[in-house]
Structure 1
C-alpha cells in the first residue's frame, strides 16, 4: 500500500535559522530563480489582491507559482499587508507559504513566510544593485534609505552580505522615532557616517544608491532634478516615484507584465505616454548581458515581486530544515486516502 504523504509545518524560528548569515547563498538561489524565469521554466500568474471596502489601506495577496529546474515545486504565498499594525508594535506584513509536490500536487509543507518574503525581496534588491552597479563601473559608497521598516533592514543586511560597503548612510522616514531606531540598528553594524535627513530631497541628493521601502500608495517624490547626479535607485515599494522621474530614467523591472499594473509608478508612466518603451528590460536581461545601464541617467529597478522567488527560497529553507532532522510533521494530516473507504 502506498504510504500517505506527509505534511510539515516550518516555523518562523526555523526559517530564520536557515537563512540567517547565508545572505550570499540565498541571493544565488534568487538569481537562479530569475534565470529559470527568464528561460521560460516557471509559471507565475498574476497576483490576486483581496481588498476590503471598509479598510482601503489593508490587503492580502495570493502569489501562486511553479518553478522547474533544481527547485521543482509548485506553491502559493498568502501575504497580508496591514499598515496599521505598526502603531500597535507589530510588523505590517504577515505571511504563510504552501509548497506542493510537483508530481502529485499534494501540499507537503506550510512555512511561516514573512521572513522568506523579506529575504527574497532583499536578495532581489541586492542582486539588482550588484548587477547594475558592476556593469555601470563601480559600486556606490553613499546609500540612503527612504522608509525604514523590516524590508529596509533586510535590504541593508543583504547588501552587506553581498559585499557592499558604505562611507555614508542616510535615513529618512515620516516617523522620527523609526528613523532613530534604524539609525541605532545601522550604528551596530556600520562604521560609516550615519545621518537622519528631514526630507527625501536631502537624502536623495546626497546618495548614490537610494532604497525606497515605504508603504506609499501613490507618488510622493516628483522632481526629476533630485536625481540629476544619476543615482542607482532600488524602487522596492514601487509607488514612490512620479511618472516624470520614471520617464527620465533607465528602468529595469523583474517582469514587465507584472510590474506595469496596479498603479505602480511604471504603470502610471505607461498610462501617461501610452507605451512601454521607457522600460529598458528585465533583471534577467541585465544578468544575461542583453541590456546594460548607462552612467549618464538615473537607473531605477522596480521589482513587483515574483512568486517564483518565494518558492525558490522556501524550498531552500525546507531542504535545510529537513536535512537537519528538525522537520515537524503533522500526523494524520491527510486522512481520507482510500478512494472507497
Structure 2
C-alpha cells in the first residue's frame, strides 16, 4: 500500500500502440457504466490566465465502479501557442487513487491517454451513427494530434472510408495528416476547403476554435454525421436542425460549447435527443430525415478507465517505475 508507480510517456505510448481494440472496448463499457449510474463524474474545473486567454488547464476528477473501483484525476493543459513552436498543444498527467483507502496508486503521463479516449469516443459514435452499406466520404477539419488519433481509431473501429478530405488553416499540418490518412486507409486523400469538407458523409471537427465559424445556413443532408469533437465549431442555429447526441447532457451544455449556445438561444434542452450510452444500449431513436451531430464534452471517467488499463499493462511489462515507501506513514499510531 505504501508503493507508488510512475508510468512515463514512452511506456504509455508502448502500451497504447497495441491497444486499439482494447481501448474501444473500454470506452464503450465506460459509457455504458455511466449510463447505468456506476460512476461519479463531477464538473471539470478550468484554470485560465489573464495574459494567456487562449490557454487553460483543466482538472477532471472522477470515480469509476463497474469492476474498476478506482478514483482518478486528469490534469491537462491546452496551450495552443505551442503549435507555433512545433510543440504539441496539450500535455497531461493522470493521478490514480485506490477506492478502498483513498491512497495514491500511480501517476501516468496522460497526453496519449487523453488523445486515445477522445478518438475512441469519436470512433465509437461513428460506428453506431454511420448507416448504409457503402463506404463513407470522410472529412477531417483540423489536422493536429487529436485528428491523427481519430483517423487511427476510425480505422480500428471498422468505419469503411471511400476517400478523405483534410481541411486545416495550416498547410503543413494538413499535409502531414493527409499522408497519415492515406497510409492508414489506403484510399485517395485530398486537401480542400471548408465548404468541400462540410459536404462529406462523415465530418470530424478537431480544431482549437473558440467560437462557431460554421454558418447557421450551412446545407446539411439527412443521414450526414458530424463528430463535433472540438465542440465550438458549429453555429447553434445549425444544431437545432439536427439530431443531437452528447456524452453527458449536463457536462456538454456548459463552457460556451455549441450545444450550450443552443440552450441559451432556445431556453431549453429539448433539441438534445440523448446520450451515446443510451445509443449503445439501443435506447435512443433518431430522426432518419435529419443529420446527426455527436458532441462529447470529454468525461474524466474515460481517462480513468484507459489509465487503469495502461497501469496494469505497464506493471505487467515491467515498464512502470515503482517507488517503494512513497507513503510516509502507513500506521495511524
The equivalent residue for 2:80 is 83
- How far off is 1:64 after superposition? 0.1
Matched, 1:144 2:159: no
Secondary structure in 2 aligned to 1:45? coil
Matches within 5 A, 1:238-317: 238-317=231-310
The equivalent residue for 2:318 is 325
Q: What does the per-residue CA deviation read over 1:292-324, in whole Å, with 9 as the maximum and x for residues that have no partner?
A: 333321100000000001100000111111222
Q: Which of 217, 220, 225 is residue 218 of structure 2 equivalent to? A: 225
Q: Which of 97, 101, 113 is residue 94 of structure 2 equivalent to? A: 97
Q: What does the per-residue CA deviation read over 1:214-251, in whole Å, with 9 as the maximum and x for residues that have no partner?
A: 00000010144331354101100000000111101100
2:53 and 2:135 map into 1 onto residues whose CA distance is 38
Task: Give the count of matched residue pairs.
Answer: 333
Give unpaired runs (5+ residues) of structure 1: none
- How far off is 1:92 after superposition? 0.2
Matched, 1:132 2:137: no
Secondary structure in 2 aligned to 1:317? helix
Matched, 1:213 2:206: yes
Matched, 1:9 2:6: yes
Q: What does the per-residue CA deviation read over 1:30-65, in whole Å, with 9 as the maximum and x for residues that have no partner?
A: 111111101111000000000001110000000000
The equivalent residue for 2:178 is 183
The equivalent residue for 1:73 is 70
Question: Does the 8 Å contact 1:209/1:233 carry over to 2?
Answer: yes
Deviates more, 1:182-191 or 1:310-319: 182-191
Q: Which of 190, 194, 215 is residue 195 of structure 1 equivalent to? A: 190
Q: What does the per-residue CA deviation read over 1:245-264, in whole Å, with 9 as the maximum and x for residues that have no partner?
A: 11011000000000000000
- How far off is 1:22 after superposition? 2.1
The equivalent residue for 1:41 is 38
2:217 and 2:68 map into 1 onto residues whose CA distance is 41
The equivalent residue for 1:160 is 155
**Distance verdict in 2 for CA 1:280–1:138, change over 3 Å:** farther
Deviates more, 1:11-20 or 1:154-163: 11-20
1:230 and 1:290 map into 2 onto residues whose CA distance is 19
Give unpaired runs (5+ residues) of structure 2: none
- Normalised TM-score (structure 1): 0.94
**CA RMSD between the two structures:** 1.4
- How far off is 1:280 after superposition? 0.2
Secondary structure in 2 aligned to 1:94? strand
1:140 and 1:121 map into 2 onto residues whose CA distance is 23
Question: Does the 8 Å contact 1:125/1:155 carry over to 2?
Answer: yes
1:241 and 1:15 map into 2 onto residues whose CA distance is 33
Secondary structure in 2 aligned to 1:109? strand
Secondary structure in 1 aligned to 2:146? helix
1:209 and 1:152 map into 2 onto residues whose CA distance is 13
Question: Does the 8 Å contact 1:8/1:110 carry over to 2?
Answer: yes
Question: Does the 8 Å contact 2:59/2:73 carry over to 1?
Answer: yes
- How far off is 1:140 after superposition? 4.7
2:164 and 2:301 map into 1 onto residues whose CA distance is 32
1:90 and 1:30 map into 2 onto residues whose CA distance is 28
2:224 and 2:291 map into 1 onto residues whose CA distance is 5
Q: Which of 162, 169, 174 is residue 169 of structure 2 equivalent to? A: 174
